[in-house]
Amino acid sequence: MNSENLKPDEIKKSIFDLLIRHEKLINKLLSPDPMIEGCIHIIYKKCGNPKCHCKDGKLHGPYTAIVRKQNGKSKLTYVDKLDIIDKAKAYKKYNKRLASLRKINEKIFSYLRYLRDINTTIYEK
């Protein structure tokens, strides 16, 4: 981040703004909806029947599936229930918010480090 031109008051204001966003995020993260682990994938596929229209590129689908890692491998499970999809979406949203929280924390950290540095000198004899 480029804090080079910021005055301490501007940094304080920026940090307080970030803290407001931080608190809002924490509040959302503290009461999660039920979630299902994995990524939602929309899948089109061939059925293997040589006489089927999918042979010429008009694939079957869309099918919805949840993909997650299990023992280092991707495991795909087809989904037909809407509430399952919603729970997988909630998982994705939760992870997005976690990522935002980390970014905000990094910004705050970076501002504070800058504040530390502009208030620090070296003592030598």
Least separation in angstroms between residue 27's CB and Zn ion is 48
Instruction: Give the one residue of 19, 29, 52, 99 binding Zn ion; rule: CB under 5 A.
Output: 52
Q: Which of residues 54 and 108 has its CB atom nearest to Zn ion in the complex?
A: 54
SS3 letters across the chain: CCCCCCCHHHHHHHHHHHHHHHHHHHHHHHCCCCCCCCEEEEEEECCCCCCCHHHHCCCEEEEEEEEEEECCEEEEEEECCHHHHHHHHHHHHHHHHHHHHHHHHHHHHHHHHHHHHHCCCCCCC
Q: Does 47 contact Zn ion by CB under 5 A?
A: yes
Least separation in angstroms between residue 76's CB and Zn ion is 19
Q: Does 84 contact Zn ion by CB under 5 A?
A: no
Q: Does 54 contact Zn ion by CB under 5 A?
A: yes
Q: Which of residues 55 and 102 has its CB atom nearest to Zn ion in the complex?
A: 55
